[in-house]
């Protein structure tokens, strides 16, 4: 018996990985967070899995009881999470309980909301000479927050930011970022990325608050901040530069034009 933490991706059923889908089909017991994972993700196991349980209304002890029952019956469990389970998936406490029970587990990664949102916006989040660092964080609320990880501390880096669970405090986020990024810094807010009702709004730190309020985004939104979102002047990557050699491509020597003829070297002996 084994518990599989499966990353279902941000919402689009086609963004679940091949491996996660294969394991999902093999597990007789499926536990999924219905508030974040669309039921369509489970369409391949409807009527096949013995149990499909929405855990949105369950606490940790209740979820563990389903897993313990499955252990007693020697049945594998697919624990389906949105995005990637290791990023804001709240699997740490579940893993701790599994280890206490001596239950084996495996984590299968998934597409993050950050990756899916960047794709939807048609942006690369790491541009040469602009930003080579992405910081994935959340805005502080009920969850205890280390002082060194509060937004002003992170903003000092000037890196591209992916801020989860903060759209209701967008005004506070903007206030804390402007001193480091400037009012003209691009920002995008992506609501329910890859779901049928997905929506987004782009702007700058100067005008994004009103735009978000006009959209009435109150939850399930990712905030992306950084110059990469609207930068046209950046250095080309060395990856495709013909003058830059790497292990798979030797440096290309410039060809001598055929119209240029070299004169033979003459030696004069005195």
**What is the average pLDDT across 12-30?**
97
Q: pLDDT of 38-75, one tens digit each?
A: 999 999 999 999 999 999 999 999 999 999 999 999 99
- Nearest Cα to Cα of residue 121 among 20, 196, 223, 261: 223
Name 66's Cβ contacts closer than 8 Å, sequence gap at least 6.
29, 31, 51, 53, 55, 58, 77
Q: Do 249 and 185 form a contact (C-beta atoms < 8 A)?
A: no
Burial 154-186 (b: 16+ CB within 10 A, else e): bbeeebbbbbbbbbebbeebbebbbebbeeebb
Residues of the chain with pLDDT > 90: what percent? 75
DSSP 8-state class, residue 122? T
Q: What is the pLDDT of residues 107-164, one digit of tens each?
A: 999 999 999 999 999 999 998 888 899 999 998 877 777 888 899 999 999 999 999 9
Q: Which of 76, 84, 72 is nearest to 7 (CA)?
A: 84
pLDDT band at 269 (very low <50, low <70, confident <90, very high): very low
pLDDT at site 270: 43
pLDDT in tens, 162-176: 999 999 999 999 999
| Tens digits of residue pLDDT in 236-256 | 665 666 566 666 666 666 565
């Amino acid at each position: 018996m084994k518990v599989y933490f499966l990353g279902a991706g941000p919402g689009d059923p086609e963004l679940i990985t091949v491996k996660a889908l294969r394991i999902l089909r093999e597990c007789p017991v499926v536990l999924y967070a219905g508030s974040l994972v669309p039921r369509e993700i489970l369409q391949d196991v409807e009527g096949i899995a013995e149990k499909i349980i929405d855990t949105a209304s369950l606490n940790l002890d209740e979820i563990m009881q389903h897993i313990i029952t499955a252990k007693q019956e020697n049945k594998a469990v697919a624990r389906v999470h949105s995005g990637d389970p290791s990023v804001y998936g709240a699997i740490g406490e579940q893993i701790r309980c599994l280890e206490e029970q001596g239950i084996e587990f495996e984590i299968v990664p998934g597409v993050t909301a950050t990756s899916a949102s960047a794709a939807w916006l048609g942006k690369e989040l790491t541009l040469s000479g602009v930003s080579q660092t992405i910081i994935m964080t959340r805005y502080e609320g009920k969850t205890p927050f280390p002082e060194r990880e509060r937004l002003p501390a992170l903003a000092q880096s000037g890196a591209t930011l992916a801020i989860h669970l903060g759209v209701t405090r967008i005004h506070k986020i903007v206030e804390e970022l402007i001193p480091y990024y400037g009012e003209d810094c691009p920002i995008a807010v992506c609501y329910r990325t890859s779901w049928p009702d997905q929506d987004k709004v782009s702007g700058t730190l100067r005008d994004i608050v009103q735009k978000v309020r006009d959209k009435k985004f109150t939850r399930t939104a990712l905030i992306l901040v950084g110059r990469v979102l609207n930068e046209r002047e950046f250095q080309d990557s060395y990856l495709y530069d013909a003058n830059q050699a790497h292990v798979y491509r030797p440096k290309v020597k410039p060809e001598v034009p055929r119209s240029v003829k070299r004169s033979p070297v003459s030696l004069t002996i005195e």
